[in-house]
Amino acid sequence: MFYLNIARAVQGISAALFTPGSLALISATFQNEERGKAIGTWAGFAAITGAIGPLLGGWIAQYASWRDVFLINVPLAIIVLIIALRKIPESQETTPQQHIDILGAILICMSLGGITYARLGSQNVSSPWAQAAWLICSTIVFFVFLIWETRVQHPMMPLTYFRNRSFATLNVYTFILYAALGGSLFFVPFDLQNVQGYTPTAAGAAMLPFILILFVTSRWSGSLVGKIGMRTPLIVGACFAAAGFFGYSLIGIGGSYWTTFFPAACILGIGGTFFVTPLTTGVMSALDTHHAGIASGVNNTISRIAGLLAIAILGLLLSQAFYRSFDNKTLSQHLSPSTHALLEQQRPSLAAGRPPIGLKGSDAALVRRDVREAYTTGFRIVMRVSACLSGIAALIIAILLRNE
């Protein structure tokens, strides 16, 4: 586990280098409507690779080993490295930052680390107050980080950029909407596999409509910003996202994929058409071109923080709703003492919708049904909260953002 964490940290460092850098190159190379189209193409290919990854990874995990999933990146990295060395021009800010904000990096890592710990333990009902305490402490550390960023000479996240009304508004929109996206979609695979009985491969394919719609429409939505501005697409996108999450909240147990997950994923994909590329284009256009790299990095960081924090908080909501429903169901049934002991022993893992291992006899079917129904209860609450967050994001744009 230690080496896995180190390897994932290296992957995170790599992502921090190439994601803002790629968008900064696009911003420096293209202008006006062409920039929107270029960012749309970037978002489209990001979406399609995001679809292939879970699908291929699910197939490999199902028929080989989860360790082999990481091998997908090796040939891709080699190809990208060759292309970067031969084809990509250099682009540099006129006033490059010469110092690293070490304390700022430590503070933000402490904050995000605490949120991650709370997220990992969010399904442990035995310590809900401990999880809440980790979230509160992590939030306090984050505010300390913000205070430090106002005082250090070379901050890693320059807060002065937020004096720009468009940039600030778009990042608030990002935080709220991507909290809904990252927080809710994290729980969809658990529902698909543990409640609905999908294989890992089928669960990876379940979100394909969302991704494919993004891939097909991203370039068009990028050009849309140059024609009508970003305000209307962002409002429409958030409203469609709210409708998509509401669709997920109506899903029960069983039923055809085409009448349950497929419509919700399509509606969410239409929403993504209107907010993914216009949002990225708006953020990159809000500041001067030579600040594009930092603008992209800040926005990408905010979206990651939003998703991480939302998973922890929504995980707490889901687990509490799950155990409340599950306990009510099991108390009304006559289960054997050995079953109760087994349920207590495996209690922390139940909130993922996974029935306990080792159940026998008539109790097994009853408990499996109770686990699936209880998870569905929590899942619906998470999706309704995400729908509300999406609606709030739409209101923020409608009230605060001028059409530019």
Predicted model pTM: 0.86
Phi and psi of 399, rounded to 5°? -90, -40
Say yes or no to pLDDT of 8 above 90. Answer: no
Contacts of 174 (CB under 8 A, 6+ apart): 279, 283, 299, 302, 303, 306
Nearest in space to 164 (alpha carbons), one of 276, 23, 277, 283 = 283
pLDDT band (50, 70, 90) for residue 323: very high
Say yes or no to pLDDT of 121 above 70. Answer: no
**Calpha distance 238→391 (Å, rounded):** 6
**CA–centroid distance for 357 within its chain:** 30
**Calpha distance 198→213 (Å, rounded):** 22
Say yes or no to pLDDT of 125 above 60. Answer: no
Q: Where are the alpha helices (DSSP H) in 186-260?
A: 188-190, 200-205, 208-228, 231-249
Q: Which helix (H) or strand (E) holds 311?
A: helix 292-331
Residue ranges and CATH numbers for the domains of the chain are: 2-90+164-324+375-400 (1.20.1250.20), 102-155 (no CATH)
Say yes or no to pLDDT of 189 above 50. Answer: yes
Report CA-CA distances (Å) from 312 to 7, 115, 193. 23, 7, 21
Higher pLDDT, 188 or 331: 188
Q: Which residue has the tokens 């394909």?
A: 208
Say yes or no to pLDDT of 344 above 90. Answer: no
**Calpha distance 309→243 (Å, rounded):** 22
**Calpha distance 182→319 (Å, rounded):** 17
Each residue's pLDDT tens digit, 19-68 = 777 777 787 778 766 877 888 888 888 777 766 777 777 788 778 887 78
* DSSP code of residue 121: T
Nearest in space to 235 (alpha carbons), one of 163, 159, 170, 305 = 170
Nearest in space to 101 (alpha carbons), one of 161, 150, 164, 167 = 150
Say yes or no to pLDDT of 404 above 80. Answer: no
